[in-house]
């Protein structure tokens, strides 16, 4: 980001569901190669724990994960495309020692960039519950990684080699859904930056002004790191329900009404691409450091937006 000569383009993808091929994901990335994505982030989600009773009186803990393979997907993408990949690292499901071991493995594998989040509650839980001796907040996880960057591990090691991770964190222009207000949410963001975060990628935004106001408010309390807006093309009526429900964001009335009135699925997709293209152009006029696209593993709409924006 520091060396950029033009706004960066980056994308986020989700690993395929268990049992599915990686080929569909590669197909999505292939559609976006003409736009030279600088980096690709890969999501990570907590596993769901179920308890089975195979015989009366014997309880068995069974972990089930819907989208495994974050590190493997990152390695596969880098080996295939030589594009920088950024795995998500979350608090949920790990204690501090398991986190340290995972970070050491990532260092050995050559990863330099991480995206650090608390993560959502585990499937089936309403509230986030950390592991015993785990991290409750992303700022705590960032502090652990930042300490490793200075050669400080959980054990007192002699001549420990420091890691060299660059850390991204999430920001929420409309505030995190658990925060009581925007000011409190920004204070938590500053805690993450003060703990060692190097850049911010925001939750998806659907209007430029709320994002720009968010950056201004962040700068006013001392958050100076680069902040990249998250972009999600909305191209069908079903997303008008699922996106607000899953990501706790508001959709502009213009977008909702135009997609709702669209006569065909193709018309709805065209409306979404046109709307998102206008948003991207406005953000670029305001000198954002980049655009980060949430593709959910599907690249066609993002490719259409990028083509209309840059070509």
Residues 305 and 296 sit within 8 Å (Cβ to Cβ): no
Token code pair at residue 111 = 């990863």
Where helices occur in the chain by DSSP H, the ranges are 23-32, 70-81, 96-108, 138-149, 182-195, 208-220, 239-247, 253-261, 265-285, 300-310
Token code pair at residue 175 = 């505030």
Nearest to 147 by CA among 159, 157, 134, 162: 162
Cα→Cα distances 141→22, 70, 191, Å: 30, 18, 11
Structural domains of the chain in order of their starting residue, each with its CATH number: 11-310 (3.20.20.220)
SS3 state at 245: helix
Distant-in-sequence contacts of 264-271, Cβ < 8 A, 24+ apart: 265/236, 268/235, 268/236, 268/237, 269/235, 269/236, 269/301, 269/304, 271/235
pLDDT for position 293: 97
- Taking only the tens of pLDDT, the chain with its 311 residues reads 888 888 999 999 998 887 888 898 999 999 999 999 999 999 997 765 555 666 677 766 555 555 578 999 999 999 999 999 999 999 998 999 999 999 999 999 999 999 999 998 887 788 898 999 999 999 999 999 999 999 999 999 888 999 999 999 999 999 999 999 999 999 999 999 999 999 999 999 999 999 999 999 999 999 999 999 999 999 999 999 999 999 999 999 999 999 999 999 999 999 999 999 999 999 999 999 999 999 977 789 999 999 999 87
Q: Is 66 exposed, middle or buried, given 0-12, 13-18 or 19+ CB atoms closer than 10 A?
A: middle
pLDDT for position 247: 94
Catalytic annotation, residues = 12
């Amino acid at each position: 980001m520091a060396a950029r000569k033009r706004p960066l383009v980056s994308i986020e993808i989700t690993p395929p569901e268990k049992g599915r091929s990686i080929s569909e994901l590669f197909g999505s990335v292939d559609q976006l190669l003409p736009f030279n994505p600088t980096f690709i982030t890969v999501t990570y989600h907590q596993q769901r724990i179920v308890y089975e009773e195979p015989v009366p009186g014997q309880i068995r803990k069974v972990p089930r994960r819907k989208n495994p393979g974050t590190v493997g997907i990152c390695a596969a993408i880098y080996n295939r495309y030589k594009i920088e990949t950024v795995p998500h690292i979350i608090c949920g499901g790990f204690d501090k020692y398991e986190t340290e071991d995972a970070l050491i493995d990532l260092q050995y594998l050559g990863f330099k960039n991480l995206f650090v989040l608390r993560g959502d509650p585990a499937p089936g839980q309403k509230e986030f519950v950390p592991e015993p001796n785990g991290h409750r907040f992303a700022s705590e996880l960032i502090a652990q990684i930042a300490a490793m960057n200075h050669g400080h591990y959980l054990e007192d090691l002699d001549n420990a080699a420091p890691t060299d991770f660059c850390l991204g964190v999430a920001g929420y222009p409309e505030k995190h859904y658990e925060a009581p207000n925007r000011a409190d949410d920004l204070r938590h963001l500053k805690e993450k930056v003060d703990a060692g975060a190097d850049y911010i990628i925001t939750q998806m935004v659907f209007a430029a002004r709320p994002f720009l106001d968010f950056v201004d408010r962040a700068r006013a309390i001392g958050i100076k790191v680069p902040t990249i807006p998250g972009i999600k093309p909305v191209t069908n009526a079903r997303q008008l329900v699922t996106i607000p429900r899953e990501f706790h964001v508001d959709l502009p009335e213009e977008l909702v009404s135009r997609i709702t009135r669209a006569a065909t699925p193709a018309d709805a997709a065209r409306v979404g691409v046109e709307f998102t293209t206008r948003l991207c152009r406005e953000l670029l006029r305001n000198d954002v450091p980049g655009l980060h696209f949430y593709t959910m593993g599907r690249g066609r709409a993002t490719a259409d937006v990028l083509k209309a924006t840059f070509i």
